[in-house]
Chain A
Amino acid sequence: MAAHLKKRVYEEFTKVVQQQQEEIATKKLRLTKPSKSAALHIDLCKATSPADALQYLLQFARKPVEAESVEGVVRILLEHYYKENDPSVRLKIASLLGLLSKTAGFSPDCIMDDAINILQNEKSHQVLAQLLDTLLAIGTKLPENQAIQNRLVDVACKHLTDTSHGVRNKCLQLLGNLGSLEKSVTKDGEGLAVRDVQKIIGDYFSDQDPRVRTAAIKAMLQLHERGLKLHQTIYNQACKLLSDDYEQVRSAAVQLIWVVSQLYPESIVPIPSSNEEIRLVDDAFGKICHMVSDGSWVVRVQAAKLLGSMEQVSSHFLEQTLDKKLMSDLRRKRTAHERAKELYSSGEFSSGRKWGDDAPKEEIDTGAVNLIESGACGAFVHGLEDEMYEVRIAAVEALCMLAQSSPSFAEKCLDFLVDMFNDEIEEVRLQSIHTMRKISNNITLREDQLDTVLAVLEDSSRDIREALHELLCCTNVSTKEGIHLALVELLKNLTKYPTDRDSIWKCLKFLGSRHPTLVLPLVPELLSTHPFFDTAEPDMDDPAYIAVLVLIFNAAKTCPTMPALFSDHTFRHYAYLRDSLSHLVPALRLPGRKLVSSTLSANITPHEDPSHQFLQQSLERVYSLQHLDPQGAQELLELTIRDLQRLGELQSELAGVADFSATYLRCQLLLIKALQEKLWNVAAPLYLKQSDLASAAAKQIMEETYKMEFMYSGVENKQVVIIHHMRLQAKALQLIVTARTTRGVDPLFGMCEKFLQEVDFFQRCFIADLPHLQDSFVDKLLDLMPRLMTSKPVEVVKIVQTMLRQSTFLHLPLPEQIHKASATIIEPAGESDNPLRFTSGLVVALDVDATLEHVQDPQNTVKVQVLYPDGQAQMIHPKPADFRNPGPGRHRLITQVYLSHTAWTEPCQVEVRLLLAYNSNSRLPKSPWVEGGEVSPQVETSVIEGTIPFSKSVKVYIMPKPARR
Chain B
Amino acid sequence: MPEIRVTPLGAGQDVGRSCILVSIGGKNVMLDCGMHMGFNDDRRFPDFSYITRNGRLTDFLDCVIISHFHLDHCGALPYFSEMVGYDGPIYMTHPTQAICPILLEDYRKIAVDKKGEANFFTSQMIKDCMKKVVAVHLHQTVQVDDELEIKAYYAGHVLGAAMFQIKVGSESVVYTGDYNMTPDRHLGAAWIDKCRPNLLITESTYATTIRDSKRCRERDFLKKVHEAVERGGKVLIPVFALGRAQELCILLETFWERMNLKAPIYFSTGLTEKANHYYKLFITWTNQKIRKTFVQRNMFEFKHIKAFDRAFADNPGPMVVFATPGMLHAGQSLQIFRKWAGNEKNMVIMPGYCVQGTVGHKILSGQRKLEMEGRQVLEVKMQVEYMSFSAHADAKGIMQLVGQAEPENVLLVHGEAKKMEFLKQKIEQEFRLLPDAKKPRLLHGTLIMKDSNFRLVSSEQALKELGLAEHQLRFTCRVHLHDPRKEQETALRVYSHLKSVLKDHCVQHLPDGSVTVESILIQAAAHSEDPGTKVLLVSWTYQDEELGSYLTSLLKKGLPQGAT
Residue A496 at the B interface, CB < 8 A? yes
Cα separation A238 to B384 with both chains bound (whole Å): 54
Q: Does B257 lie at the interface of the complex (its beta carbon under 8 Å from any beta carbon of A)?
A: yes
Interface code B39-50, partner A: CB below 8 Å = 1, 0 otherwise? 000000000000
Q: For chain B, residues 406 to 440, give those with C-beta under 8 angstroms from any C-beta of chain A.
A: 419, 422, 425-426, 430, 433, 435
B116 within 8 A of A: no
Q: Does residue B191 face the partner (Cβ distance < 8 Å to A)?
A: yes
Q: Does A386 contact B (CB under 8 A)?
A: yes
Q: Assess whether B287 is in contact with A329, with CB atoms less than 8 Å apart.
A: no
Does A371 lie within 8 Å of B506, measured CB to CB?
Answer: no
Distance from B86 Cβ to chain A, minimum over Cβ atoms (Å): 36
B105 at the interface (CB under 8 A from A): no
Cross-chain contact A366 with B521 (CB below 8 angstroms) = no
Q: Contact string, A331-356, partner B, CB cutoff 8 A, digits 1/0?
A: 00101110000000000000011110
- Does B214 count as interface, using CB distance less than 8 angstroms? yes
A385 CB contacts on chain B under 8 angstroms: 182-183, 213-215
How far apart are the CA atoms of A460 and B304 in the complex, in Å?
15
Known: A329-B419, A371-B396, A371-B430. A419 touches B216 (CB 8 A): yes
Contact A424 B254 (CB under 8 A): yes
When chains A and B are docked, how far (Å) is the Cα of A330 from the Cα of B385?
A: 25
**In the complex, chain B residues whose CB is within 8 Å of the CB of A460:** 257-260
Establish whether residues A325 and B400, one from each chain, have CB atoms under 8 Å apart when the complex forms.
no
Interface contact B289-A424, CB-CB below 8 Å? yes
8 A Cβ contacts from A764-793 to B: none
Closest chain A residue to B223, Cβ basis:
A455
Instruction: Give Cα A557 to B426, complex, Å.
Output: 62
Q: Quick check: A327 and B508 within 8 Å, CB to CB?
A: no
Q: Is B217 an interface residue (CB 8 A)?
A: yes
Q: What are the residues of chain B within 8 A of A357 when measuring CB–CB?
A: 386
Is B215 in contact with A191, judged by CB distance below 8 angstroms? no
* Residue B90 CB within 8 A of the other chain: no
Residue of B nearest to A192 (CB): B519
- Pick the contact of B508: A185, A325, A326, A425 (CB < 8 A): A185
A388 at the interface (CB under 8 A from B): yes
A660 at the interface (CB under 8 A from B): no
Least CB distance from B153 to A in Å reads 11
CB distance from A377 to the nearest CB of B (A): 9
CA–CA, A935 to B519, complex, Å? 59
Closest A residue, CB atoms, query B506: A194
Q: Which of B193, B222, B289 has the most CB of A within 10 A?
A: B289
Is A389 positioned at the interface, with any CB of B under 8 Å from its CB?
yes
Which residues of chain B are near A354, meaning CB under 8 Å? Answer: 366, 386
B467 within 8 A of A: no
Check if B183 sits within 8 Å of A327, measured CB to CB. no
CB-CB under 8 A from B212, the residues of chain A are 324, 326, 333, 335-336, 358
- Whether A330 contacts B208 in the complex (CB less than 8 A), given A189-B511, A295-B404, comes out as yes
Q: Of all chain B residues, which has the CB nearest A325?
A: B210
Q: Is A441 an interface residue (CB 8 A)?
A: no
B242 within 8 A of A: no
B residues in contact with A333, CB < 8 Å: 210, 212
Decide: A366 near B219, CB < 8 A? Known: A328-B208, A336-B212, A387-B188: no
Q: Does B365 contact A (CB under 8 A)?
A: yes
Tell which of A295, A329, A370 touches B192, judged by Cβ atoms closer than 8 Å: A295
Q: Does any Cβ of A come within 8 Å of B67's Cβ? A: no
Contacts known (A194-B508, A372-B396); A459 close to B258, Cβ less than 8 A: yes
0/1 interface trace, chain A 288-300, chain B, CB 8 Å (1 if under): 0000010100000
| Cα(A293)–Cα(B393), bound, Å | 14
Contacts of A373 in B (CB 8 A): 430
* B324 partner residues in chain A, CB cutoff 8 A: none
Judge whether B194 is part of the interface by a CB distance below 8 angstroms: yes
Main SS class of interface, B: mixed
As a 0/1 sequence over residues 498 to 517 of chain A, the CB contacts with chain B under 8 angstroms (1 = contact) are 00000000000000000000
A326 touches B210 (CB 8 A): yes
B510 interfacial by beta-carbon distance below 8 Å? yes
Shortest Cβ distance from A210 into chain B, in angstroms? 12
Chain A: CB-nearest residue to B386: A355
Q: B-facing mask of A401-429, CB < 8 A → 1, else 0?
A: 00000000000000010011010110000
A606 CA to B441 CA, complexed, in Å: 77
Complex Cα spacing A455 to B458, Å: 70
Is the pair A326, B510 in contact by a Cβ cutoff of 8 Å? Answer: no
B426–A337 touching, CB < 8 Å? no
Give A458 to B261 CA distance when docked, in angstroms.
9
List residues of chain A with CB within 8 A of the CB of B209: 327-329
User: Is the beta-carbon distance between B430 and A372 smaller than 8 angstroms?
Assistant: yes
B87 sits at the interface (CB 8 A): no
- Select the residue from B189, B258, B260 with max chain A CB neighbours within 10 A: B258
Residues of B within 8 A of A452 (CB): 219, 223
Query: Does any Cβ of A come within 8 Å of B100's Cβ?
Result: no
Assess whether A366 is in contact with B425, with CB atoms less than 8 Å apart.
Answer: yes
Known: A189-B511, A336-B212, A419-B215. A293 touches B189 (CB 8 A): no
Task: List residues of chain B with CB within 8 A of the CB of A336.
Answer: 212-213, 216-217, 220
> CB of B171 within 8 A of chain A?
no
Q: Which of B193, B400, B503 contacts A293 (CB 8 A)?
A: B400
How far in angstroms is the closest Cβ of chain A from B430? Answer: 5
What chain A residues lie within 8 Å of B419 (beta carbons)? 329-330
Closest to A272 in B: B433
Q: Establish whether residues A353 and B395, one from each chain, have CB atoms under 8 Å apart when the complex forms.
A: no
Q: Are A355 and B364 in contact (CB under 8 A)?
A: yes
Residues A419 and B430 in contact, CB atoms below 8 Å apart: no
User: Chain B 505-526 against A: per-residue CB contact (8 Å), 1 yes, 0 no?
Assistant: 0101011101010010100000
Which residue on B lies nearest to A452, using beta carbons? B219
B288/A387 in contact, CB under 8 A: yes
Q: Are B226 and A189 in contact (CB under 8 A)?
A: no
Q: Which of A337, A388, A422 has the most CB of B within 10 A?
A: A422
Q: When A231-B504, A355-B366, A371-B395 are in contact, do A189 and B210 touch as well, CB less than 8 Å?
A: no
Contact indicator A461/B213 (Cβ below 8 Å):
no
B211 interfacial by beta-carbon distance below 8 Å: yes
Task: State whether the Cβ of A158 lies closer than 8 Å to any Cβ in chain B.
Answer: no
Interface status of A671 (Cβ within 8 A of chain B): no
Contacts of B216 in A (CB 8 A): 335-337, 419
> Interface 1/0s, chain A 442-467, versus B by CB < 8 A?
00000000001001001111000000
**Nearest Cβ distance between residue B558 and chain A, in whole angstroms?**
24
- Knowing A243-B435, A355-B386, say if A459 contacts B399 (CB, 8 Å): no
Q: Complex formed: what's the CA distance from A922 to B254 in Å?
A: 47
Q: Interface on B for A, CB 8 Å cutoff?
A: 182-183, 185, 188-189, 191-194, 208-220, 222-224, 226, 254, 257-260, 287-289, 364-366, 383-387, 395-396, 399-400, 403-404, 419, 422, 425-426, 430, 433, 435, 458, 503-504, 506, 508, 510-512, 514, 516, 519, 521
- Can you report 22 A-B residue pairs in the complex whose CB atoms are below 8 A from each other? A185-B508, A191-B508, A196-B506, A245-B194, A295-B193, A295-B404, A327-B208, A330-B422, A335-B213, A353-B220, A381-B213, A385-B214, A386-B183, A387-B188, A388-B288, A389-B289, A416-B213, A419-B213, A419-B216, A419-B219, A424-B254, A452-B219
9 closest A-B pairs by CB: A336-B216, A387-B183, A419-B215, A191-B516, A355-B364, A372-B399, A458-B259, A371-B399, A460-B260
Given contacts A328-B209, A335-B212, A372-B396, 14 further A-B contacts (CB under 8 A): A231-B503, A243-B435, A295-B404, A327-B209, A330-B208, A371-B396, A385-B214, A388-B288, A419-B219, A422-B219, A424-B289, A452-B219, A460-B258, A496-B260
